[in-house]
Amino acid sequence: MQKLLSSLGPVAAVIGAQWGDEGKGKVTDILAEHYDIIARACGGANAGHTIVINGTKHVFHLLPSGCLHEKKDIVLGAGMVLHLPTLLEEIETLKESGIDIVNRLYISPESHILFDFHKEIDGALEELRSREKGQGIGTTKRGIGPAYMDKAERVGIRMEMLGKNIEGELKERAKRVLQCYGVTIDTDKEMANMSAAHAVLKGRVIDTIEHMHSGLSNGKTILIEGAQATLLDIDHGTYPYVTSSSTTIAGALQGLGLPPNALTSCIGVAKAYCTRVGSGPFLTEMDEEHADRIRTKGGEFGATTGRPRRCGWLHIPDLKRTAQINGFTHWNITKLDVLDTESEVSVGIDSKSDAEAIYDAIPGWMEPTVGMTSFADLPENAQKYIYFLEQKTGVPAALIGTGQGREEMIIKS
Ligand code: GDP
Ligand code: IMO
Ligand code: MG
């Protein structure tokens, strides 16, 4: 671990390389022990990050996964859209496990409030798209798109307004929301949610940029937990089947107000195969028989919506592209154990046209790797698979996941 930490340096980021759910939460939790400030930059409760500790599962949507470690500062950056009842619920759940994070929570006044009406608009727009085009984007219906629409239109309400009276503004907004989307804003309920959040969070809406920069000047370290993933990025993803935020490292730095030259490393997280939730292209999608097996073995059901995830093989050109966009310094290849019973592992290495992938077939290892923590213990073919990925992408696989549990991770020097 010490060798890995010195190669990561004081400002490290964890960024998804595929379509999300790669296992960013798990690696963030493992590394968080060694960092002072853990930060989320963008997105909202569309994220679902799972950690398993001693068999107990914890799922985070807004708080970064590192917050189970006591004494760490938790930053929610300006790029985020915050559904306050969800945030309170997460804080409360942690409290029930004996972890109080309020006094170490730093919320950017520039982050936007995501209201219940945003969720309703999200649902209404999905329905409209399904009706008009036969299919929606397959959003998480957490209100993400509509909240960022308000932000881009410059009518969003930010966390700096917590504790202030915004009833008039909401009532004014209600007319247009009803007219445009047929959605009624329940002003009383939205105001009650604001009051409840103010009661818990007052004093925690703080200049997060100053907090992080003064921390850095005092020798503190920062771990950035990305949400969503590069192929879901609003600019660089498989548009229009993407989310509404910038999910790359550049987006994360922007969302936090950290300069690019502060960053010392960027870990790309990719499954040993690939999954996607929602609509959109997936060149290396598996046939149903394979997909069923992987879905069952890998527990491939959304952490936020419970939807079955579509399953496919790795696609090297995508990994290379996401490595280029993010400047990955390390890979965390996750869920290697899920491939243990595959006699052959396919990897997309190129494509004939946009519609057909060309595959390499890698011999499987057909031996359990579950729970392994040493690279040398891996079956030879599993090692070869990792070497193959490193060689094809030019990025070293520093971390390799072999199970859900916090301990089930190989740290390869
Ligand atoms: P995130 O959104 O990137 O944090 O990922 P999710 O939590 O949505 O989905 C990843 C799922 O895979 C979770 O259920 C994790 O517990 C699980 N997971 C993570 N790493 C591994 C691994 O190496 N092996 C196995 N079997 N499961 C893993
Ligand atoms: P984490 O952080 C997987 C997907 C949705 C949909 C598209 C747009 O857990 O990796 P949105 O609700 O954002 O407007 O939906 O993006 N999506 C995710 N898929 N993991 C996520 O987050 C996701 N966040 C959004 O399924 O296809
Ligand atoms: Mg997830």
Residue 192: per-residue pLDDT: 97
Query: What pLDDT score was predicted for residue 303?
Result: 78
Q: Which domains occur in the chain, in start order? A: 2-109+206-411 (3.40.440.10), 112-201 (1.10.300.10)
Ligand nearest, relative to CA of residue 43: 2
Task: Check pLDDT > 90 for residue 155.
Answer: yes
Residues 6+ apart with CB under 8 A from 95: none
Mean pLDDT of the chain: 96
Which residue puts its alpha carbon closest to atom 10 of ligand 1? 23
Residue 27 CA, ligand 3 centroid: distance in Å: 13
Other CB atoms within 10 Å distance of the CB of residue 300 = 23
Region for residue 43 given its phi and psi (left: phi exceeds 0; alpha: psi -120 to 50; beta: otherwise)? left
User: What is the residue whose two structure tokens read 């929610």?
Assistant: 76
Residue 243 scores a pLDDT above 90: yes
Closest listed ligand to the CA of 370: 1
Q: How much is the pLDDT for 353?
A: 78
Q: Band of the pLDDT at 354, cuts 50, 70, 90?
A: confident
Please give the C-alpha separations between residue 218 and each of 10, 31, 73, 198, 271, in angstroms, as whole numbers: 12, 20, 14, 30, 36
**Residue nearest (by alpha carbon) to ligand 1 atom 2:** 21
Q: What is the per-residue pLDDT for 321?
A: 98
Distance (angstroms) between ligand 1 centre and the Cα of 404 equals: 6
Ligand 2 pocket (Cβ < 6 Å) reads: 16, 19-21, 46-49, 137-140, 142, 144-145, 227-229, 232, 243-244, 277-278, 303
Hey, which of 277, 334, 335 would you mutate to test ligand 2's pocket, going by the most ligand atoms within 8 Å of its Cβ? 277
Q: Which of 21, 150, 233, 318 is catalytic?
A: 21
Complete DSSP assignment for 330-349: EEEEE-GGGGTT-SEEEEEE
**From the candidates 49, 58, 61, 83, which is the catalytic residue?**
49
Phi and psi for 80 in degrees, rounded to 5?
Answer: -85, 155
Residue 107: both structure tokens together:
């919320």
In 97-240, which residue ranges form alpha helices assigned H by DSSP? 116-133, 144-153, 167-181, 187-201, 208-217
> What is the per-residue pLDDT across 31-78, written as a single tens digit (0 to 9) for each?
999 999 999 999 999 999 999 999 999 999 999 999 999 999 999 999
How many whole angstroms from 370 Cα to the centroid of ligand 1? 13
CB atoms within 10 A of CB 384: 14
Q: What is the rounded distance in angstroms from the CA atom of residue 25 to the CA atom of residue 28?
A: 5
Rg (CA), the chain: 21
**Tell me, what's the pLDDT at 352?**
84
Of 320, 316, 250, the C-alpha closest to 283 is 316
Amino acid at 292: D
Contact status, residue 262 vs residue 11, Cβ threshold 8 Å: yes
The residue whose CB lies within 8 Å of the most ligand 1 atoms, and thus the one to mutate among 300, 335, 339, is 335
Ligand nearest to the CA of 243: 2
In ligand 2, the atom with minimum distance to the C-alpha of 21 is 10
- 287 pLDDT band, cuts 50/70/90, is very high
- CA distances 231 to 144, 145, 282, Å, are 17, 16, 11
| Overall average pLDDT of the 99-113 stretch | 97
pLDDT at 345: 97
**pLDDT the model gives residue 120:** 98
Atom from ligand 1 closest to the CA of residue 403? 24
Nearest to 189 by CA among 63, 88, 102, 84: 84
What residues have CB less than 8 Å from 182, skipping those under 6 apart?
124
- Active site (annotated) includes residue 49: yes
pLDDT digit string, tens, across residues 355-402: 899 999 999 999 999 999 999 999 999 999 999 999 999 999 999 999
pLDDT classification of 351: cutoffs 50, 70, 90: confident
Cα 168 to averaged position of ligand 2 atoms, centre (Å)? 33
Kind of pairing, strands 310-312 and 274-276?
Answer: antiparallel
Query: The whole model's pTM is what?
Result: 0.97
Q: Is the pLDDT of residue 251 over 80?
A: yes
Q: How much distance in Å is there from the Cα of 23 to the middle of ligand 1?
A: 4
Say whether pLDDT at 413 is over 80.
no
Q: What is the dihedral of CA 278, 85, 52, 105, to 10 degrees?
A: 120
For 67-99, the DSSP string reads: GGSTT-EEEEEEEEEE-HHHHHHHHHHHHHTT-
pLDDT of residue 305: 83
| pLDDT bucket at 101, cuts 50 / 70 / 90 | very high
119: pLDDT strictly greater than 90: yes
Q: Is 411 in a helix, a strand, or coil?
A: strand
Q: Is the pLDDT of residue 127 over 90?
A: yes
H or E segment to which residue 222 belongs: strand 222-225
The residues placing their C-beta within 5 Å of ligand 3, an ion, are 21, 48, 303
The question of whether 340 is a catalytic residue gets the answer no
- CA of 349 from ligand 2 middle (Å) equals 25
**Residue written as token pair 């915050």:** 82
> If pLDDT is split at 50, 70 and 90, which confidence band does 157 have?
very high
Compute the average pLDDT of residues 206-226: 98
